[in-house]
Structure 1
Amino acid sequence: MLYATTPAAEKRRALRERLASGELLRFPGAFNPLSARLIERKGFDGVYISGAVLSADLGLPDIGLTTLTEVAGRGEQIARMTELPAIIDADTGFGEPMNVARTIQTLEDAGLAGTHIEDQINPKRCGHLDGKQVVDQDTAIKRIRAAADARRDPNFLIMARTDIRAVEGLDAAKDRAKALVDAGADAIFPEAMRTLDEFAAMRDAVDVPILANMTEFGKSELFSVDQLRSVGVNIVIWPVSLLRIAMGSASRALDTLIDEGHLTSKLGEMQHRADLYELIDYEAYNHFDAGVFNFQIAR
Protein backbone atom coordinates (compact mmCIF):
# COMPACT_ATOMS: atom_id res chain seq x y z
CA MET A 1 0.00 0.00 0.00
CA LEU A 2 1.22 3.46 -0.89
CA TYR A 3 5.01 3.04 -1.07
CA ALA A 4 7.63 0.43 -0.24
CA THR A 5 8.36 -0.22 3.43
CA THR A 6 12.04 -1.10 3.05
CA PRO A 7 14.22 1.96 3.81
CA ALA A 8 16.64 3.07 1.10
CA ALA A 9 19.63 2.35 3.33
CA GLU A 10 18.49 -1.24 3.78
CA LYS A 11 18.02 -1.70 0.03
CA ARG A 12 21.58 -0.48 -0.51
CA ARG A 13 22.98 -2.73 2.18
CA ALA A 14 21.20 -5.75 0.75
CA LEU A 15 22.42 -4.97 -2.77
CA ARG A 16 26.01 -4.73 -1.58
CA GLU A 17 25.67 -8.01 0.27
CA ARG A 18 24.35 -9.82 -2.77
CA LEU A 19 26.99 -8.35 -5.05
CA ALA A 20 29.67 -9.48 -2.62
CA SER A 21 28.36 -13.04 -2.96
CA GLY A 22 29.35 -13.10 -6.63
CA GLU A 23 25.92 -14.15 -7.87
CA LEU A 24 24.39 -12.66 -11.00
CA LEU A 25 21.59 -10.16 -10.35
CA ARG A 26 18.85 -9.44 -12.90
CA PHE A 27 17.68 -5.82 -13.26
CA PRO A 28 14.98 -5.27 -15.90
CA GLY A 29 14.37 -1.65 -16.83
CA ALA A 30 11.27 0.00 -15.38
CA PHE A 31 9.62 2.66 -17.52
CA ASN A 32 7.31 3.86 -14.73
CA PRO A 33 6.57 3.09 -11.06
CA LEU A 34 3.92 0.47 -11.85
CA SER A 35 6.30 -1.51 -14.05
CA ALA A 36 8.82 -1.46 -11.18
CA ARG A 37 6.24 -3.09 -8.95
CA LEU A 38 5.57 -5.71 -11.63
CA ILE A 39 9.32 -6.44 -11.87
CA GLU A 40 9.34 -7.05 -8.12
CA ARG A 41 6.21 -9.20 -8.30
CA LYS A 42 7.84 -11.43 -10.94
CA GLY A 43 10.78 -12.18 -8.66
CA PHE A 44 13.65 -10.19 -10.14
CA ASP A 45 16.58 -8.91 -8.10
CA GLY A 46 16.41 -5.20 -8.77
CA VAL A 47 15.09 -2.41 -10.97
CA TYR A 48 17.09 -0.46 -13.52
CA ILE A 49 16.11 3.08 -14.56
CA SER A 50 17.48 3.96 -17.98
CA GLY A 51 18.41 7.44 -19.12
CA ALA A 52 17.27 6.50 -22.61
CA VAL A 53 13.86 5.54 -21.23
CA LEU A 54 13.59 8.73 -19.18
CA SER A 55 14.44 10.76 -22.29
CA ALA A 56 12.01 8.83 -24.46
CA ASP A 57 9.29 9.26 -21.83
CA LEU A 58 9.67 13.00 -22.37
CA GLY A 59 9.73 12.61 -26.16
CA LEU A 60 13.44 13.48 -26.29
CA PRO A 61 16.48 11.72 -27.78
CA ASP A 62 19.08 10.24 -25.44
CA ILE A 63 21.68 12.99 -25.88
CA GLY A 64 21.90 14.44 -22.38
CA LEU A 65 18.91 16.80 -22.57
CA THR A 66 17.34 15.63 -19.33
CA THR A 67 18.15 17.50 -16.14
CA LEU A 68 19.16 16.24 -12.71
CA THR A 69 15.81 17.38 -11.35
CA GLU A 70 13.90 15.37 -13.95
CA VAL A 71 16.01 12.26 -13.50
CA ALA A 72 16.02 12.34 -9.70
CA GLY A 73 12.29 13.03 -9.58
CA ARG A 74 11.42 10.12 -11.82
CA GLY A 75 13.94 7.93 -10.02
CA GLU A 76 12.32 8.70 -6.68
CA GLN A 77 8.86 7.87 -8.03
CA ILE A 78 10.08 4.49 -9.25
CA ALA A 79 12.37 3.58 -6.34
CA ARG A 80 9.79 4.26 -3.66
CA MET A 81 7.27 1.92 -5.31
CA THR A 82 9.34 -1.25 -4.90
CA GLU A 83 11.11 -3.13 -2.15
CA LEU A 84 13.89 -3.88 -4.64
CA PRO A 85 17.06 -1.80 -5.00
CA ALA A 86 16.96 0.58 -7.97
CA ILE A 87 19.99 1.66 -9.98
CA ILE A 88 19.64 4.77 -12.12
CA ASP A 89 21.49 6.10 -15.16
CA ALA A 90 23.03 9.52 -14.40
CA ASP A 91 24.62 10.01 -17.84
CA THR A 92 27.80 12.07 -17.48
CA GLY A 93 26.85 13.40 -14.05
CA PHE A 94 25.13 16.58 -15.25
CA GLY A 95 28.22 18.76 -15.39
CA GLU A 96 31.65 19.22 -13.90
CA PRO A 97 32.98 17.27 -10.88
CA MET A 98 31.14 19.51 -8.40
CA ASN A 99 27.91 18.88 -10.33
CA VAL A 100 28.63 15.15 -10.18
CA ALA A 101 28.98 15.43 -6.39
CA ARG A 102 25.59 17.14 -6.17
CA THR A 103 24.10 14.49 -8.43
CA ILE A 104 25.17 11.72 -6.07
CA GLN A 105 23.72 13.35 -2.98
CA THR A 106 20.48 14.18 -4.81
CA LEU A 107 20.09 10.57 -5.94
CA GLU A 108 20.83 9.35 -2.42
CA ASP A 109 18.06 11.60 -1.12
CA ALA A 110 15.73 10.23 -3.82
CA GLY A 111 16.10 6.72 -2.41
CA LEU A 112 18.15 5.14 -5.19
CA ALA A 113 20.50 2.26 -4.39
CA GLY A 114 23.16 3.31 -6.88
CA THR A 115 23.99 5.01 -10.14
CA HIS A 116 26.49 5.00 -12.97
CA ILE A 117 28.50 7.88 -14.37
CA GLU A 118 29.89 7.54 -17.88
CA ASP A 119 32.95 8.87 -19.69
CA GLN A 120 31.30 10.27 -22.80
CA ILE A 121 31.55 13.92 -23.76
CA ASN A 122 28.54 16.19 -23.80
CA PRO A 123 26.30 16.04 -25.75
CA LYS A 124 26.38 12.29 -25.24
CA ARG A 125 24.58 9.68 -27.28
CA CYS A 126 23.17 6.20 -26.83
CA GLY A 127 26.00 3.83 -25.97
CA HIS A 128 25.24 1.49 -28.88
CA LEU A 129 25.37 4.14 -31.62
CA ASP A 130 28.37 4.89 -33.79
CA GLY A 131 30.32 8.13 -33.55
CA LYS A 132 30.63 8.34 -29.77
CA GLN A 133 33.38 10.40 -28.20
CA VAL A 134 34.85 9.95 -24.75
CA VAL A 135 36.62 12.35 -22.43
CA ASP A 136 40.29 11.95 -21.54
CA GLN A 137 41.17 9.68 -18.66
CA ASP A 138 41.88 12.50 -16.24
CA THR A 139 38.38 13.92 -16.72
CA ALA A 140 36.79 10.49 -16.36
CA ILE A 141 38.71 9.89 -13.13
CA LYS A 142 37.68 13.26 -11.70
CA ARG A 143 34.01 12.43 -12.27
CA ILE A 144 34.25 9.13 -10.39
CA ARG A 145 36.41 10.54 -7.62
CA ALA A 146 33.91 13.35 -7.09
CA ALA A 147 31.07 10.84 -6.96
CA ALA A 148 32.83 8.61 -4.43
CA ASP A 149 33.82 11.56 -2.25
CA ALA A 150 30.31 13.03 -2.24
CA ARG A 151 28.26 10.06 -1.07
CA ARG A 152 27.18 9.94 2.53
CA ASP A 153 25.93 6.36 2.61
CA PRO A 154 28.95 4.11 1.98
CA ASN A 155 26.61 1.46 0.56
CA PHE A 156 25.36 3.72 -2.22
CA LEU A 157 26.76 2.02 -5.33
CA ILE A 158 29.02 4.18 -7.50
CA MET A 159 29.38 2.51 -10.87
CA ALA A 160 31.66 3.78 -13.63
CA ARG A 161 30.47 3.26 -17.17
CA THR A 162 33.07 3.41 -19.92
CA ASP A 163 32.20 3.76 -23.59
CA ILE A 164 35.80 3.69 -24.77
CA ARG A 165 35.59 0.16 -26.23
CA ALA A 166 33.80 1.48 -29.33
CA VAL A 167 36.28 4.33 -29.73
CA GLU A 168 39.71 2.91 -28.91
CA GLY A 169 39.20 -0.83 -28.49
CA LEU A 170 39.10 -3.48 -25.80
CA ASP A 171 42.58 -2.91 -24.35
CA ALA A 172 41.74 0.75 -23.80
CA ALA A 173 38.52 -0.31 -22.08
CA LYS A 174 40.41 -2.58 -19.70
CA ASP A 175 42.94 0.12 -18.88
CA ARG A 176 40.25 2.71 -18.28
CA ALA A 177 38.23 0.35 -16.11
CA LYS A 178 41.26 -0.25 -13.91
CA ALA A 179 41.84 3.49 -13.55
CA LEU A 180 38.19 4.11 -12.67
CA VAL A 181 38.28 1.43 -9.98
CA ASP A 182 41.40 3.06 -8.56
CA ALA A 183 39.46 6.36 -8.53
CA GLY A 184 36.76 4.86 -6.34
CA ALA A 185 34.30 3.02 -8.60
CA ASP A 186 32.53 0.16 -6.81
CA ALA A 187 31.56 -1.53 -10.09
CA ILE A 188 32.24 -1.23 -13.81
CA PHE A 189 29.74 -0.94 -16.66
CA PRO A 190 31.68 -1.72 -19.86
CA GLU A 191 29.37 -0.48 -22.60
CA ALA A 192 28.88 -2.09 -26.02
CA MET A 193 30.87 -5.27 -25.50
CA ARG A 194 30.47 -7.41 -28.61
CA THR A 195 31.26 -10.95 -27.43
CA LEU A 196 31.30 -13.11 -24.32
CA ASP A 197 35.07 -13.15 -24.57
CA GLU A 198 35.09 -9.37 -24.21
CA PHE A 199 32.99 -9.58 -21.06
CA ALA A 200 35.38 -12.25 -19.77
CA ALA A 201 38.33 -9.97 -20.50
CA MET A 202 36.73 -7.15 -18.53
CA ARG A 203 35.99 -9.56 -15.69
CA ASP A 204 39.68 -10.50 -15.58
CA ALA A 205 40.78 -6.86 -15.71
CA VAL A 206 39.08 -5.66 -12.50
CA ASP A 207 38.20 -7.13 -9.12
CA VAL A 208 34.86 -5.34 -8.70
CA PRO A 209 31.41 -6.35 -10.02
CA ILE A 210 30.74 -5.79 -13.73
CA LEU A 211 27.48 -5.10 -15.51
CA ALA A 212 26.24 -6.35 -18.88
CA ASN A 213 23.83 -4.25 -20.92
CA MET A 214 21.53 -6.50 -22.93
CA THR A 215 19.80 -3.82 -24.97
CA GLU A 216 18.09 -4.90 -28.17
CA PHE A 217 19.24 -3.70 -31.61
CA GLY A 218 22.66 -2.71 -30.27
CA LYS A 219 26.30 -3.76 -30.54
CA SER A 220 26.12 -6.65 -28.09
CA GLU A 221 24.66 -10.02 -28.92
CA LEU A 222 21.69 -10.79 -26.66
CA PHE A 223 23.35 -13.29 -24.36
CA SER A 224 21.34 -15.33 -21.88
CA VAL A 225 21.63 -15.01 -18.12
CA ASP A 226 23.43 -18.36 -18.00
CA GLN A 227 25.95 -17.28 -20.64
CA LEU A 228 26.72 -14.06 -18.78
CA ARG A 229 26.99 -15.89 -15.48
CA SER A 230 29.53 -18.24 -17.03
CA VAL A 231 31.94 -15.36 -17.73
CA GLY A 232 31.57 -13.75 -14.30
CA VAL A 233 29.08 -10.96 -14.97
CA ASN A 234 27.42 -9.75 -11.74
CA ILE A 235 24.55 -7.57 -12.97
CA VAL A 236 22.60 -7.77 -16.20
CA ILE A 237 20.19 -5.06 -17.32
CA TRP A 238 17.53 -4.98 -20.01
CA PRO A 239 17.17 -1.21 -19.96
CA VAL A 240 14.61 -0.40 -22.66
CA SER A 241 12.98 -3.80 -23.26
CA LEU A 242 9.72 -3.25 -21.38
CA LEU A 243 9.24 0.17 -22.95
CA ARG A 244 9.86 -1.25 -26.41
CA ILE A 245 7.38 -4.06 -25.82
CA ALA A 246 4.78 -1.68 -24.38
CA MET A 247 5.14 0.83 -27.22
CA GLY A 248 5.07 -1.93 -29.82
CA SER A 249 1.84 -3.26 -28.33
CA ALA A 250 0.36 0.23 -28.12
CA SER A 251 1.16 0.87 -31.79
CA ARG A 252 -0.49 -2.38 -32.86
CA ALA A 253 -3.53 -1.63 -30.73
CA LEU A 254 -3.95 1.77 -32.37
CA ASP A 255 -3.72 0.13 -35.79
CA THR A 256 -6.45 -2.29 -34.73
CA LEU A 257 -8.60 0.58 -33.51
CA ILE A 258 -8.24 2.27 -36.90
CA ASP A 259 -8.93 -0.93 -38.86
CA GLU A 260 -11.70 -2.46 -36.73
CA GLY A 261 -13.16 0.45 -34.80
CA HIS A 262 -12.86 -1.36 -31.47
CA LEU A 263 -10.32 -3.37 -29.46
CA THR A 264 -12.28 -6.52 -28.78
CA SER A 265 -9.68 -8.65 -30.54
CA LYS A 266 -6.98 -7.25 -28.21
CA LEU A 267 -8.63 -8.04 -24.88
CA GLY A 268 -6.53 -11.18 -24.41
CA GLU A 269 -3.34 -9.09 -24.67
CA MET A 270 -4.38 -6.54 -22.05
CA GLN A 271 -3.67 -6.55 -18.34
CA HIS A 272 -7.02 -7.32 -16.75
CA ARG A 273 -8.53 -4.72 -14.45
CA ALA A 274 -8.45 -7.28 -11.62
CA ASP A 275 -4.71 -7.84 -12.13
CA LEU A 276 -4.07 -4.10 -12.11
CA TYR A 277 -6.00 -3.61 -8.89
CA GLU A 278 -4.10 -6.47 -7.28
CA LEU A 279 -0.78 -5.00 -8.39
CA ILE A 280 -1.55 -1.59 -6.92
CA ASP A 281 -2.91 -3.24 -3.76
CA TYR A 282 -6.26 -1.53 -4.07
CA GLU A 283 -7.84 -3.56 -1.27
CA ALA A 284 -5.24 -2.48 1.28
CA TYR A 285 -6.43 1.11 1.10
CA ASN A 286 -9.51 0.01 3.05
CA HIS A 287 -7.25 0.36 6.09
CA PHE A 288 -8.04 4.07 5.80
CA ASP A 289 -11.52 3.96 4.30
CA ALA A 290 -13.73 0.87 4.26
CA GLY A 291 -15.65 2.29 1.33
CA VAL A 292 -12.70 2.22 -1.03
CA PHE A 293 -12.70 -1.48 -2.00
CA ASN A 294 -16.21 -2.80 -1.65
CA PHE A 295 -16.72 -4.48 -5.02
CA GLN A 296 -15.83 -7.64 -6.94
CA ILE A 297 -14.36 -7.84 -10.44
CA ALA A 298 -15.17 -10.85 -12.57
CA ARG A 299 -12.21 -12.16 -14.53
Structure 2
Amino acid sequence: MMTTAKTVSTGQQLRELANARRGVLVPGAFNALSAKVIEDLGFEAIYITGAGVTNMHLGLPDMGFMGLAEIAEQTARIRDAVEVPLLVDADTGFGNAVNVRHTVRTLERAGADCIQLEDQVMPKRCGHFTGKAVISADEMVGKIKAAVDARHSEDFLIMARTDARATDGFDAAIERAQMYAEAGADILFVEALESAHEVRCMPEFLQAPLLMNMVIGGKTPIATTDELRQQGYGLVLYANAALQSAVAGMQKALTVLRDEHHLKEDPDLVVPFKERQRLVGKDFIDQLEQRYKS
Protein backbone atom coordinates (compact mmCIF):
# COMPACT_ATOMS: atom_id res chain seq x y z
CA MET A 1 0.00 0.00 0.00
CA MET A 2 1.37 3.42 -0.98
CA THR A 3 1.72 6.06 1.72
CA THR A 4 1.52 9.74 1.03
CA ALA A 5 4.16 11.97 2.60
CA LYS A 6 2.65 14.45 5.02
CA THR A 7 2.88 18.02 3.77
CA VAL A 8 4.48 20.42 6.23
CA SER A 9 2.71 23.76 6.18
CA THR A 10 4.65 27.00 5.91
CA GLY A 11 3.52 27.79 9.44
CA GLN A 12 5.01 24.54 10.71
CA GLN A 13 8.18 25.31 8.78
CA LEU A 14 8.41 28.69 10.47
CA ARG A 15 7.85 27.23 13.92
CA GLU A 16 10.63 24.71 13.30
CA LEU A 17 12.96 27.46 12.08
CA ALA A 18 12.33 29.57 15.18
CA ASN A 19 12.61 26.63 17.59
CA ALA A 20 15.91 25.51 16.09
CA ARG A 21 17.62 28.61 17.57
CA ARG A 22 20.10 28.76 14.70
CA GLY A 23 19.82 32.45 13.84
CA VAL A 24 17.87 32.07 10.61
CA LEU A 25 18.27 35.21 8.49
CA VAL A 26 14.93 36.80 7.60
CA PRO A 27 15.08 39.72 5.15
CA GLY A 28 12.15 42.10 4.81
CA ALA A 29 10.09 42.49 1.65
CA PHE A 30 8.00 45.52 0.70
CA ASN A 31 6.29 44.11 -2.41
CA ALA A 32 5.99 40.92 -4.44
CA LEU A 33 9.12 41.45 -6.54
CA SER A 34 11.34 42.10 -3.51
CA ALA A 35 9.91 38.91 -1.97
CA LYS A 36 10.72 36.94 -5.13
CA VAL A 37 14.31 38.21 -5.05
CA ILE A 38 14.63 37.13 -1.41
CA GLU A 39 13.23 33.65 -2.11
CA ASP A 40 15.33 33.31 -5.27
CA LEU A 41 18.50 33.92 -3.25
CA GLY A 42 17.68 31.01 -0.95
CA PHE A 43 16.43 32.67 2.23
CA GLU A 44 14.15 30.44 4.28
CA ALA A 45 11.55 32.98 5.39
CA ILE A 46 10.40 36.51 4.56
CA TYR A 47 9.23 39.36 6.77
CA ILE A 48 6.64 41.71 5.25
CA THR A 49 7.78 45.03 6.63
CA GLY A 50 5.31 47.68 7.69
CA ALA A 51 8.00 50.34 7.44
CA GLY A 52 8.87 49.17 3.94
CA VAL A 53 5.25 49.12 2.77
CA THR A 54 4.76 52.60 4.26
CA ASN A 55 7.96 54.00 2.73
CA MET A 56 7.63 52.43 -0.70
CA HIS A 57 3.89 52.59 -1.27
CA LEU A 58 2.91 55.74 0.60
CA GLY A 59 6.19 57.67 0.53
CA LEU A 60 5.82 58.33 4.26
CA PRO A 61 7.85 57.50 7.40
CA ASP A 62 7.01 54.56 9.66
CA MET A 63 4.73 56.49 12.00
CA GLY A 64 1.39 54.71 11.89
CA PHE A 65 0.22 55.68 8.40
CA MET A 66 -0.11 52.10 7.16
CA GLY A 67 -3.50 50.46 7.70
CA LEU A 68 -4.70 46.88 7.78
CA ALA A 69 -5.94 47.07 4.19
CA GLU A 70 -2.50 48.05 2.86
CA ILE A 71 -0.63 45.32 4.70
CA ALA A 72 -3.26 42.68 3.87
CA GLU A 73 -3.12 43.57 0.19
CA GLN A 74 0.66 43.26 0.08
CA THR A 75 0.52 40.00 2.08
CA ALA A 76 -1.89 38.43 -0.40
CA ARG A 77 0.23 39.50 -3.36
CA ILE A 78 3.44 38.23 -1.78
CA ARG A 79 1.81 34.93 -0.71
CA ASP A 80 0.84 34.36 -4.33
CA ALA A 81 4.39 35.09 -5.50
CA VAL A 82 6.49 32.97 -3.09
CA GLU A 83 6.29 29.68 -1.20
CA VAL A 84 8.43 30.33 1.89
CA PRO A 85 6.97 31.23 5.31
CA LEU A 86 5.77 34.82 5.76
CA LEU A 87 6.02 36.86 8.95
CA VAL A 88 3.84 39.97 8.70
CA ASP A 89 4.24 43.25 10.56
CA ALA A 90 0.78 44.07 11.96
CA ASP A 91 1.97 47.07 13.99
CA THR A 92 -0.28 47.49 17.07
CA GLY A 93 -2.99 45.25 15.65
CA PHE A 94 -4.79 48.37 14.42
CA GLY A 95 -6.75 48.98 17.59
CA ASN A 96 -7.79 47.19 20.76
CA ALA A 97 -8.09 43.46 21.45
CA VAL A 98 -11.30 43.18 19.43
CA ASN A 99 -9.60 44.90 16.48
CA VAL A 100 -6.71 42.47 16.88
CA ARG A 101 -9.14 39.59 16.41
CA HIS A 102 -10.18 41.07 13.05
CA THR A 103 -6.53 41.72 12.11
CA VAL A 104 -5.56 38.11 12.78
CA ARG A 105 -8.42 36.73 10.71
CA THR A 106 -7.72 39.13 7.86
CA LEU A 107 -3.98 38.41 7.68
CA GLU A 108 -4.34 34.67 8.18
CA ARG A 109 -6.81 34.65 5.27
CA ALA A 110 -4.35 36.73 3.21
CA GLY A 111 -1.64 34.09 3.61
CA ALA A 112 0.44 35.14 6.62
CA ASP A 113 2.10 32.42 8.69
CA CYS A 114 2.91 34.73 11.60
CA ILE A 115 1.91 38.22 12.63
CA GLN A 116 3.92 40.62 14.72
CA LEU A 117 2.00 42.63 17.33
CA GLU A 118 3.69 45.41 19.26
CA ASP A 119 2.85 47.16 22.52
CA GLN A 120 3.19 50.75 21.36
CA VAL A 121 0.50 53.37 21.73
CA MET A 122 -1.34 53.83 18.44
CA PRO A 123 -0.29 55.46 16.12
CA LYS A 124 3.04 53.69 16.47
CA ARG A 125 6.52 54.81 15.46
CA CYS A 126 9.47 52.96 14.01
CA GLY A 127 11.14 51.11 16.85
CA HIS A 128 14.34 53.08 16.32
CA PHE A 129 12.68 56.52 16.40
CA THR A 130 12.54 58.65 19.52
CA GLY A 131 9.25 59.65 21.15
CA LYS A 132 7.74 56.17 21.53
CA ALA A 133 5.13 55.32 24.15
CA VAL A 134 3.78 51.92 25.21
CA ILE A 135 0.40 50.70 26.39
CA SER A 136 0.09 48.85 29.69
CA ALA A 137 1.43 45.33 29.81
CA ASP A 138 -2.01 44.08 30.84
CA GLU A 139 -3.62 45.62 27.73
CA MET A 140 -1.02 43.98 25.52
CA VAL A 141 -1.60 40.63 27.21
CA GLY A 142 -5.27 40.98 26.30
CA LYS A 143 -4.34 41.63 22.66
CA ILE A 144 -2.13 38.54 22.54
CA LYS A 145 -4.86 36.38 24.06
CA ALA A 146 -7.31 37.74 21.50
CA ALA A 147 -4.85 36.92 18.70
CA VAL A 148 -4.38 33.36 19.96
CA ASP A 149 -8.13 32.83 20.21
CA ALA A 150 -8.79 34.32 16.76
CA ARG A 151 -6.46 32.17 14.67
CA HIS A 152 -8.02 29.28 12.80
CA SER A 153 -4.82 27.21 12.65
CA GLU A 154 -2.33 26.47 15.39
CA ASP A 155 0.29 26.73 12.65
CA PHE A 156 -0.42 30.48 12.52
CA LEU A 157 2.11 32.03 14.89
CA ILE A 158 1.89 35.12 17.08
CA MET A 159 5.05 37.17 17.55
CA ALA A 160 4.89 39.67 20.40
CA ARG A 161 7.12 42.72 20.24
CA THR A 162 7.81 45.10 23.10
CA ASP A 163 9.19 48.60 22.69
CA ALA A 164 9.51 49.10 26.44
CA ARG A 165 13.33 49.15 26.35
CA ALA A 166 13.18 52.76 25.18
CA THR A 167 10.54 53.88 27.68
CA ASP A 168 11.13 51.80 30.82
CA GLY A 169 14.53 50.15 30.46
CA PHE A 170 15.91 46.70 29.74
CA ASP A 171 14.58 44.90 32.82
CA ALA A 172 11.04 46.13 32.22
CA ALA A 173 11.22 45.02 28.60
CA ILE A 174 12.30 41.52 29.66
CA GLU A 175 9.47 41.36 32.20
CA ARG A 176 6.94 42.32 29.55
CA ALA A 177 8.31 39.79 27.07
CA GLN A 178 7.91 37.03 29.66
CA MET A 179 4.30 38.09 30.29
CA TYR A 180 3.62 37.99 26.56
CA ALA A 181 5.03 34.46 26.29
CA GLU A 182 2.79 33.35 29.16
CA ALA A 183 -0.18 34.89 27.33
CA GLY A 184 0.49 32.63 24.35
CA ALA A 185 3.01 34.39 22.09
CA ASP A 186 5.02 31.90 20.05
CA ILE A 187 7.99 34.20 19.30
CA LEU A 188 9.32 37.17 21.27
CA PHE A 189 10.83 40.36 19.85
CA VAL A 190 12.38 42.95 22.17
CA GLU A 191 12.95 45.97 19.97
CA ALA A 192 15.83 48.47 19.97
CA LEU A 193 18.24 47.03 22.53
CA GLU A 194 20.96 49.59 23.09
CA SER A 195 24.13 47.66 23.87
CA ALA A 196 25.99 44.54 22.84
CA HIS A 197 25.70 43.38 26.46
CA GLU A 198 21.89 43.50 26.31
CA VAL A 199 21.90 41.55 23.05
CA ARG A 200 24.21 38.89 24.51
CA CYS A 201 22.37 38.36 27.76
CA MET A 202 18.71 38.58 26.72
CA PRO A 203 18.42 34.88 25.73
CA GLU A 204 19.45 33.98 29.27
CA PHE A 205 16.21 35.49 30.62
CA LEU A 206 13.63 34.28 28.09
CA GLN A 207 12.77 30.70 27.14
CA ALA A 208 10.57 31.29 24.08
CA PRO A 209 12.16 31.57 20.61
CA LEU A 210 13.60 35.05 20.06
CA LEU A 211 13.91 37.34 17.07
CA MET A 212 16.65 39.97 16.95
CA ASN A 213 16.17 42.97 14.67
CA MET A 214 19.30 44.32 13.00
CA VAL A 215 18.49 47.84 11.78
CA ILE A 216 21.25 49.37 9.67
CA GLY A 217 21.84 52.76 11.26
CA GLY A 218 19.51 52.01 14.19
CA LYS A 219 19.94 51.92 17.96
CA THR A 220 20.99 48.26 18.29
CA PRO A 221 24.68 47.43 17.69
CA ILE A 222 25.03 45.22 14.62
CA ALA A 223 26.10 41.68 15.53
CA THR A 224 27.02 38.94 13.09
CA THR A 225 24.50 36.20 12.49
CA ASP A 226 27.03 33.66 13.78
CA GLU A 227 27.24 35.58 17.07
CA LEU A 228 23.46 35.73 17.38
CA ARG A 229 23.16 32.03 16.60
CA GLN A 230 25.67 31.18 19.32
CA GLN A 231 23.72 33.36 21.75
CA GLY A 232 20.55 31.38 21.04
CA TYR A 233 18.45 33.60 18.79
CA GLY A 234 16.01 31.78 16.54
CA LEU A 235 15.53 34.46 13.89
CA VAL A 236 17.65 37.42 12.76
CA LEU A 237 15.65 40.12 11.03
CA TYR A 238 16.97 42.58 8.47
CA ALA A 239 13.62 44.23 7.91
CA ASN A 240 14.66 46.96 5.51
CA ALA A 241 18.01 45.92 4.06
CA ALA A 242 16.32 45.25 0.70
CA LEU A 243 14.55 48.60 0.80
CA GLN A 244 17.67 50.56 1.70
CA SER A 245 19.72 48.81 -0.97
CA ALA A 246 16.96 49.36 -3.56
CA VAL A 247 16.89 53.08 -2.79
CA ALA A 248 20.68 53.24 -2.99
CA GLY A 249 20.60 51.45 -6.35
CA MET A 250 17.92 53.78 -7.72
CA GLN A 251 19.83 56.84 -6.60
CA LYS A 252 23.06 55.55 -8.14
CA ALA A 253 21.57 54.64 -11.53
CA LEU A 254 19.36 57.70 -11.82
CA THR A 255 22.25 60.01 -10.93
CA VAL A 256 24.18 58.57 -13.88
CA LEU A 257 21.12 59.02 -16.10
CA ARG A 258 20.68 62.61 -14.96
CA ASP A 259 24.33 63.54 -15.42
CA GLU A 260 25.19 61.53 -18.57
CA HIS A 261 21.74 61.55 -20.22
CA HIS A 262 21.76 57.82 -20.97
CA LEU A 263 22.22 54.40 -19.35
CA LYS A 264 23.91 51.33 -20.80
CA GLU A 265 23.32 47.73 -19.71
CA ASP A 266 25.83 47.94 -16.89
CA PRO A 267 25.23 45.23 -14.24
CA ASP A 268 26.70 47.57 -11.63
CA LEU A 269 23.85 49.97 -12.31
CA VAL A 270 20.87 48.03 -13.66
CA VAL A 271 19.80 44.39 -13.61
CA PRO A 272 19.92 42.90 -17.13
CA PHE A 273 16.64 42.72 -19.03
CA LYS A 274 16.73 38.91 -19.14
CA GLU A 275 17.30 38.66 -15.41
CA ARG A 276 14.31 40.88 -14.71
CA GLN A 277 12.12 38.64 -16.88
CA ARG A 278 13.46 35.51 -15.15
CA LEU A 279 12.58 36.88 -11.72
CA VAL A 280 9.00 37.68 -12.71
CA GLY A 281 8.47 34.29 -14.40
CA LYS A 282 8.14 35.39 -18.01
CA ASP A 283 8.94 31.89 -19.34
CA PHE A 284 6.18 30.38 -17.21
CA ILE A 285 3.62 32.89 -18.51
CA ASP A 286 4.74 32.10 -22.06
CA GLN A 287 4.14 28.40 -21.37
CA LEU A 288 0.66 29.14 -20.04
CA GLU A 289 -0.15 31.12 -23.17
CA GLN A 290 0.81 28.15 -25.32
CA ARG A 291 -1.11 25.67 -23.15
CA TYR A 292 -4.36 27.60 -23.35
CA LYS A 293 -4.00 28.81 -26.91
CA SER A 294 -7.13 28.09 -28.94
The TM-score, its normalising length taken from structure 1, stands at 0.90
Relative contact order, higher structure (CA 8 A, sep 6+): 2
Which shifted more, 282-291 or 90-99?
282-291
Q: 2:140 maps to what in 1? A: 140
Please give the alpha-carbon distance, in whole angstroms, between the structure 1 residues aligned to 2:8 and 2:51.
Answer: 26
Given the alignment of the two structures, is residue 72 of structure 1 paired with residue 72 of structure 2, yes or no? yes
Is the 2:265–2:272 Cα contact (8 Å) retained in structure 1? Answer: no
Distance in 2 between residues matched to 1:265 and 1:279, nearest whole Å: 17
The alpha carbon displacement at 1:28 in A equals 0.6
Moved more, 221-230 or 281-290: 281-290
Q: Which runs of 5+ in 1 are unaligned?
A: 1-7, 293-299
Aligned 8 A contact 1:200 1:232 in 2: no
- CA deviation after TM superposition for structure 1 residue 251, in Å: 1.6
- Could you list the runs of 5+ residues in structure 2 that have no partner in the other structure? 1-6
Deviation of 1:265 (Å): 7.8
Q: Contact 2:21/2:235 (CA < 8 Å) preserved in 1?
A: no
Contact 1:253 1:266 in 2 (8 A): no
The 5 A counterparts of 1:75-94 are: 75-94=75-94
Q: What CA distance in whole angstroms lies between the structure 1 residues aligned with 2:291 and 2:159?
A: 47
- Match of 1:280? 280
Report percent identity of matched pairs.
39
| Structure 1 letter corresponding to 2:245 | I
Question: TM-score when scaled to structure 2?
Answer: 0.92
Inter-CA distance 267–220: structure 2 relative to 1 (3 Å threshold): same
Pair 9,88 (structure 1): closer, same or farther in 2 beyond 3 Å: farther
The residue that corresponds to 2:4 in the other structure is none
Question: Residues of 1 paired with 2:194 and 2:200: CA distance?
Answer: 11
Instruction: Note the C-alpha offset of 1:230.
Output: 1.5
CA contact (8 A) 1:30 1:48 kept: yes
Q: Which amino acid in structure 2 is aligned with residue 282 of structure 1?
A: K
TM alignment of 1:174-185, pairs within 5 A: 174-185=174-185
Q: What is the aligned residue count?
A: 285
Q: Match for 1:242: what amino acid?
A: A
Offset of residue 39 of structure 1: 0.9
8 Å CA contact retained: 2:92, 2:118: yes
Select between 160-169 and 258-267 the one with higher mean Cα deviation. 258-267
- Contact 2:19-2:234 at 8 Å conserved across structures: no
Range moving further from structure 2, 259-268 or 46-55: 259-268
Contact 2:21/2:229 (<8 A) preserved: no
| Contact kept in structure 2, 1:29 and 1:241, CA below 8 Å | yes
In the aligned structure 1, how far is the partner of 2:121 from the partner of 2:112?
A: 25
How much has 1:34 moved relative to structure 2? 1.3
